[in-house]
Structure 1
Amino acid sequence: MAEAFAPAKVNLFLHVGGPGTDGYHPICSLMVFGDVGDRVSVRPGEGSVAVRGPFAAGLGRESDNLIVKAVRAFVVELGRPMEELAFTLDKHLPVSSGLGGGSSDAGAALRLIRDVFTPGFDDARLERVAASLGADGAACLWGRPVVAQGKGERLSPAPGLPELHAVLVNAGVPVSTPEVYRALDASGAFGDVTRPRMPDAFEDVHEVAAWLATQRNDLEAAAVAVAPDVGAVLATLRDEPEALIARVSGSGGTCFALCDDDIAAESLAERLEALAPAWWVKRCRLGGPWA
């Protein structure tokens, strides 16, 4: 059996343009990855996905799982049948949470298939398969900080980042990405998706937070409209002294706060856990890749 880590994805900023003729919205986003996430393992087997872990019950039918779709897409790209594989997904990230969990799970599965069973399959082909799975697919394949543009498939290196200590908070309410995009379309509040000017590297977390304050998540208002609990989490984080900046990640469900250091993040996480025991609260480091 082989195993891979599937890290949480966090959009430090997310700019979203109006839909094109194909209905897809162009984006520009600085994506980083957390040292918290799911784990995916694989062995020769009967062609199945077994799910366990604290958020296993939130997943739908096995046939809808992005791991299954990733395997099918891999076989198509490979151009020949592949031996049957049995995957186990240890699900620790909330479902429909804006953390790219499904895409990251699929990315971990693709890396495992390639590395264990078809090591000659090159990176470019693997990236093409990952990009076909959705807007987060290409970035989540490797779990490295990147700037994603287009439909998420155009990746360029992120600026150099210091170690970022953060707290992730989810109120336990799944947020539908299609619903959020419909709310955005109804509002017409689209943004400029030109890559903003960035330094080659940020010196410290305060410089990161100050620069991020000049950017935005164009899905944030729509996410709060669709799921007011997200707004409650965001307002709470923005009132906390340890939060240098707080924002919604992706299309919502989860908010993040950047903190000075691990001690500040631990203090914030402990207070939030006492304040709202029903919330999912995780202290983490953001960057990547993580083993």
Structure 2
Amino acid sequence: MIIIEVKSLKQKSYAKINLTLDITGILENGYHAICSIMHSVNLYDTITITQTTSKKIELTTNLPFLPNDKKNHAFRAAELFFEATGIKNEGILIEIEKQIPVSAGLAGGSSNAGTVLKILNQLFDTGLSIDELCQIGYRIGADVPYCIHGGTMLAEGIGERLSPLAPLPQIPIVLVKPNFGISTPESFRQWDQMPNHVHPNTSKIIKAIEEENIETIGALLCNTLELPTFEIIERNGLDNPIPDIKECMLHFDAYGALMSGSGPTIFGFFPSMDLANCAAEKLKAITNQVFVTTT
């Protein structure tokens, strides 16, 4: 009797938030140049990859509306990994247990892609460096290299140029995802049409991070895409819950509250887990996608 060893690996795929997001120009290829401080948070999907005899990539998730083919970043990551390593005729099953909200500004899809690359590198013992994995990930999306690294990073270029920053201490955080999604390209197009923009003071917030001054970090949170997102919400005839969400967080003594990425998720930093939980309970009247976790 032939015994076939089935290899399987599981990893967490973490969400990210943007403490700052600035647009610094338009590149020759039409992409927007950004400058953003990104940080991982302890909200994650769980990804399991199992080798199979199917000789193809298969993908399942707990959310039936998500694509299970190359339209899914995780599937595309597996395709590009096999292409880059020259591995052929291998079958894998990718199982994703989603907790990170979809179309939320939390880089859930990019994080899944980065995690798939890291798992496959380990599963097939290919020995690719982090930089080599990032080169593959960049072909999927500009956030993927950050998601491969994680932690606290200053992202520049279109998000692919990364500089490590001092890590934040563990801070209670509430994330609130309104009951709609926002298109990232549409947010950038709307920004282009607006005559005035807000810009974060990136150097000051980096100094506050180095000093672990949470009050100053909270006061300096800034996202140049927040007002364009408000315009998109209004144009689509939707109620805009973001000001009320931020006001509620501040009522419960949040150090600061901000929309992450192109939105619409709002996060707030809190002095204690008790205050975070109190705010979360109140915010559940706005949406059922409310998460209490830590940085």
TM over 0.5: yes
Flag the structure with larger Rg: 2
**CA distances 1:188-221 after superposition (whole Å, capped 9, x unpaired):** 54676995352261334223213x24xx211111
The reply to whether residue 245 of structure 1 matches residue 241 of structure 2 is no
Moved over 4 A (4+): 188-195
Quote the Cα distance in structure 1 between the aligned partners of 2:160 and 2:201: 15
Find the aligned partners of 1:34 and 1:101 in 2 and give their Cα distance: 11
Structure 2: runs of 5 or more not aligned: 1-7
SS in 2 for 1:93: coil
Partner of 1:65: 72
Matched residue type, 2:74: I
Instruction: Give the 5 Å matches for 1:71-82.
Output: 71-81=78-88
| 1:171 matched to 2:182 | no
SS at match of 1:57: coil
Find the partner of 1:105 among 87, 100, 112: 112
Whole-angstrom distance in 2 between the partners of 1:272 and 1:191: 27
Give the secondary structure class of the aligned counterpart of 1:62. Answer: coil
Q: Distance in 2 between matches of 1:23 and 1:180?
A: 15
In structure 2, the partner of 1:234 is 243
What letter is aligned with 1:3? K
Greater shift in the superposed pair: 86-95 or 192-201: 192-201
C-alpha deviation, 1:17, in angstroms:
2.6
**Preserved contact between residue 252 and residue 278 of structure 2 (Cα < 8 Å):** no
Structure 2 matches for 1:181-200, cutoff 5 A?
181-189=188-196, 196-197=203-204, 198-199=206-207
C-alpha contact (below 8 Å) 1:38/1:89 kept by paired residues: yes
Match of 2:95 in 1: 88
Letter in 1 for 2:266: C
> Displacement, 1:174?
1.3
Q: 1:186 to 1:41 in 2, by over 3 A?
A: same
Q: Structure 2: which amino acid aligns with 1:221?
A: L
- Give the counterpart letter for 1:284 in structure 2: T
Which range is displaced more, 224-233 or 150-159?
Answer: 224-233
Quote the RMSD (CA, aligned, Å). 2.2
1:155 CA displacement:
0.6
Percent of pairs identical after alignment? 28
- Bigger relative contact order (CA 8 A; separation at least 6): 1
Who is 2:293 aligned against? 284
Matched, 1:268 2:292: no
> Equivalents in 2 of 1:100, 1:32: separation in Å?
11
Of 130, 140, 148 in structure 2, the residue corresponding to residue 141 of structure 1 is 148
- Report the counterpart of residue 125 of structure 1 in structure 2: 132
How has the CA–CA distance of structure 1 residues 251 and 260 changed in structure 2, closer, same or farther, with 3 Å as cutoff? same
Unpaired runs of 5+ residues, structure 1, are: 287-291
CA contact (8 A) 1:4 1:112 kept: yes
* Counterpart-to-counterpart distance in 2, 1:230 and 1:208: 29
- Following the alignment from structure 1 to structure 2, what is the Cα–Cα distance between the partners of residues 76 and 264? 49
Match of 1:203 in 2: 212
3-state secondary structure, aligned to 1:63: coil
8 Å CA contact 2:130–2:148 kept in 1: the answer is no
Q: Which residue of 2 aligns with 1:289?
A: none
1:6 corresponds to? 13
Q: Specify whether residues 194 and 36 from structure 1 end up closer, same or farther in structure 2 by C-alpha distance, changes over 3 A only.
A: closer
1:235, distance to aligned residue in structure 2 (A):
3.0
Task: Give the secondary-structure state (helix, strand or coil) at the position aligned to 1:139.
Answer: helix
Judge conservation of contact 1:163–1:205 (CA < 8 Å) in 2: no
Residues 86-135 of structure 1: CA distance to partner in whole angstroms, max 9, x if unpaired?
Answer: 10011112211000000001111111000111242222211211222212
- Structure 1 pair 131–270 and aligned structure 2 pair: CA distance change class (3 A): same
3-state SS of 2:203 partner? coil
Q: Give the C-alpha shift of residue 184 in structure 1.
A: 1.0
Q: Secondary structure of 2:25's partner?
A: coil
Contact 1:11 1:32 survives alignment (8 Å): yes
In 2, the alpha carbon distance for the partners of 1:112 and 1:173 equals 31
What's the offset of the Cα at 1:15? 0.6
Instruction: Measure, in 2, the Cα distance between the counterparts of 1:233 and 1:245.
Output: 13
- Partner amino acid, structure 1, of 2:288: W
Measured in 2, the distance between the counterparts of 1:142 and 1:230 equals 36
Q: Distance in 1 between matches of 2:29 and 2:167?
A: 34
Q: TM-score scaled by structure 1?
A: 0.88
Partner of 1:175: helix, strand, or coil? coil
